């Protein structure tokens, strides 16, 4: 079954309007969730909200939203006041500027949507996608939806477009906040590390090569429970803390270890496992003499 559109909007590109349909690019609903049950009888539990002052249950119609401006001090808002503060949805994504695709750090990436041309939008959509693709740039703009305003990045993927919600600058911490000590890297160590990277390099990212082992383990356990079988719990292995090793020896051992057979694309469309990085043996011999 084909993908179903979850909405529509118009991309405003100068004086050009591009009507598009939105499709969710990810599937968060596939996550496995568990319900809280009463251990004695197995019935579902119902959540209750308690007033911390009067210690009594509060029904939903007696609830209000408030903002804590000081310790245990709140200002209260009515639903009408909160509604008035929301951003009005315009069904427009207004392009503000264009930047090189690599200029946007993936740490800012949030939810992604696929875009497809809507009625009468095929021509401007194709033009916009090709212009972005050939320029190596992406479009940055603003999009108002669900009462909020978002920064969005529109970038070409294949023959189509992806609209990526971005986090605001205030939502992303700077890496300068963490302490990274200055450490000397020896040239011999660097060469071996580069050889190891070359040895395990693929031409493209293949998501099908990675599977969620934890999800598969949970699904298997759930099925066994449904069938009335007991689950045997594996004893976790003792790690004993971090092992202190010689960096050069670890790099050498990593290079000498046979890499896993990882499919790689070739010009003829055939797949073959990655070859050992050229010059790896020579680098090992040079490093050993130092």
Q: Which domains does the chain have, with CATH numbers?
A: 7-26+86-170 (2.40.290.10), 184-201+248-256+270-290 (no CATH)
Q: What is the pLDDT of residue 126?
A: 95
CA distance 133 to 92: 22
Taking only the tens of pLDDT, the chain with its 290 residues reads: 567 898 899 999 888 899 999 998 987 656 688 889 999 998 999 888 999 889 899 988 899 999 998 998 999 898 888 888 776 667 889 999 999 999 999 999 999 999 999 999 999 999 999 999 999 999 999 998 877 889 999 999 988 999 999 999 999 999 999 999 999 999 998 999 999 899 888 888 888 888 888 888 888 888 888 888 777 766 666 655 555 568 888 888 888 876 555 555 444 444 444 444 444 444 444 444 44
Q: How far is CA 95 from CA 35, 142, 143, in A?
A: 43, 7, 9
Tell the burial category of 164 from Cβ atoms under 10 Å away from its Cβ (0-12, 13-18, 19+): buried
Q: What is the pLDDT of residue 160?
A: 94
CA distance 234 to 120: 59
Element (H, E) at 9: strand 7-13
Q: Report the predicted TM-score, pTM, of the whole model to 2 decimal places.
A: 0.67
Q: What is the pLDDT of residue 134?
A: 95
């Amino acid at each position: 079954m084909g993908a179903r559109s979850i909405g529509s909007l118009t991309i405003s590109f100068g004086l050009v309007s591009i009507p598009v349909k939105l499709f969710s690019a990810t599937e968060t609903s596939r996550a496995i969730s568990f319900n809280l049950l009463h251990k004695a009888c197995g019935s579902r539990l119902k959540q209750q909200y308690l007033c911390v002052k009067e210690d009594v249950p509060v029904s939903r119609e007696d609830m209000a939203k408030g903002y804590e401006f000081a310790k245990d001090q709140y200002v209260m808002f009515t639903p009408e006041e909160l509604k008035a503060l929301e951003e009005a949805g315009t069904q427009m994504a207004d392009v503000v500027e264009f930047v090189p695709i690599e200029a946007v750090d993936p740490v800012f990436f949030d939810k992604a949507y696929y875009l497809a041309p809507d009625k009468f939008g095929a021509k401007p959509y194709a033009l916009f996608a090709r212009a972005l693709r050939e320029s190596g740039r992406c479009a940055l703009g603003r999009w108002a939806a669900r009462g909020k305003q978002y920064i969005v990045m529109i970038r070409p993927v294949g023959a189509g477009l992806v609209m990526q919600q971005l986090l605001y600058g205030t939502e992303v911490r700077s890496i300068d906040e963490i302490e990274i000590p200055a450490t000397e890297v020896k040239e011999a160590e660097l060469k071996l590390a580069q050889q190891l990277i070359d040895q395990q390099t693929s031409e493209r990212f293949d998501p099908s090569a990675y599977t969620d082992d934890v999800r598969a383990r949970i699904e298997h356990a759930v099925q066994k429970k449904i069938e009335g079988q007991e689950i045997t719990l594996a004893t976790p292995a003792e790690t004993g803390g971090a092992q202190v090793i010689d960096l050069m020896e670890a790099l050498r051992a990593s290079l000498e270890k046979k890499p896993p057979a990882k499919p790689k694309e070739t010009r003829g469309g055939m797949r073959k496992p990655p070859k050992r990085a050229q010059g790896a043996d020579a680098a090992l011999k040079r490093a050993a003499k130092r």
